[in-house]
A and B are shown apart, each in its own frame.
Chain A
Amino acid sequence: DTEVTQTPKHLVMGMTNKKSLKCEQHMGHRAMYWYKQKAKKPPELMFVYSYEKLSINESVPSRFSPECPNSSLLNLHLHALQPEDSALYLCASSQADRGDYSNQPQHFGDGTRLSIL
């Protein structure tokens, strides 16, 4: 079991649906992340929130919309996704470091496996 909890574990949705992925951590971490991982590939960073503010958006299409309601929660809102968006979506958290180069390790949740029909 991990200390970063993601729900749901599996999600199947059509291309016209709207759904949300949720992530919660209670480790007091102030940095939270969304990654996308395709089969047999490494995780790819999508978004970084630091102190509840979006600090990095890796040129992610607008059909993915992140939200950080508070320091423990991170959401990823999905709308009009494409079949190529089917992947494992991973949430991670870490201590935040205001320096240019943080040495804080990131801890991952179990992920949400998303399938787009």
Chain B
Amino acid sequence: QKEVEQNSGPLSVPEGAIASLNCTYSDRVSQSFFWYRQYSGKSPELIMSIYSNGDKEDGRFTAQLNKASQYVSLLIRDSQPSDSATYLCAVKRYGNKLVFGAGTILRVKS
């Protein structure tokens, strides 16, 4: 079992729709969770962090965390073509170690 699992996609959504990206993790004691966006040929860009169960909203982005189910998700409302990228889920392990999922490719079609 991989430490952090994501569906590789591609996930295709029409412009203006809600994109839902999911991630599961195996280490039950993990405390910190992050979503990064990576455009082709660029470096990862932090878009959301979440540490407590529940929802955290920032603009069009909402991160959801359920520690009991070991599940993290990212919702993107009013999806735009510029949101087309790979979205990396990352889980902080012991001693500053960040473990990434394989990433989900999102394609927003205009």
Contacts and interface: CB of A to CB of B under 8 A. Distances in A.
A41 B102 CA distance: 6
A44 B36 CA distance: 14
Given A42-B100, A43-B100, A100 B95 contact: yes
Given A42-B88, A56-B97, A105 B34 contact: yes
Nearest to A101: B31
Contacts of B100: 42-44
Given A31-B96, A103-B51, A108 B45 contact: yes
Contacts, number: 70
Q: Report, as a range, how many residues of chain B touch the other chain.
A: 20 to 34
B68 interface: no
Interface string A57-99: 0000000000000000000000000000000101000101100
B42 interface: yes
Given A42-B100, A106-B98, A101 B46 contact: no
B73 to A, nearest CB: 18
A108 B44 contact: yes
Interface in B48-97: 49, 51, 88, 92-97
Q: Report, as a range, how many residues of chain A touch the other chain.
A: 20 to 34
Given A42-B101, A45-B97, A110 B43 contact: yes
Q: Do most interface residues of chain A lie in helix, strand or loop, or is the interface mixed?
A: loop
Interface centre among A2, A56, A90, A103 (most CB of B within 10 A): A103
17 contacts: A41-B102, A42-B88, A45-B97, A45-B99, A48-B97, A88-B43, A90-B43, A100-B95, A101-B32, A101-B92, A103-B31, A103-B49, A105-B34, A105-B46, A109-B43, A110-B42, A111-B43
Interface of A: 2, 31, 33, 41-45, 48, 50, 55-56, 88, 90, 94, 96-97, 100-111
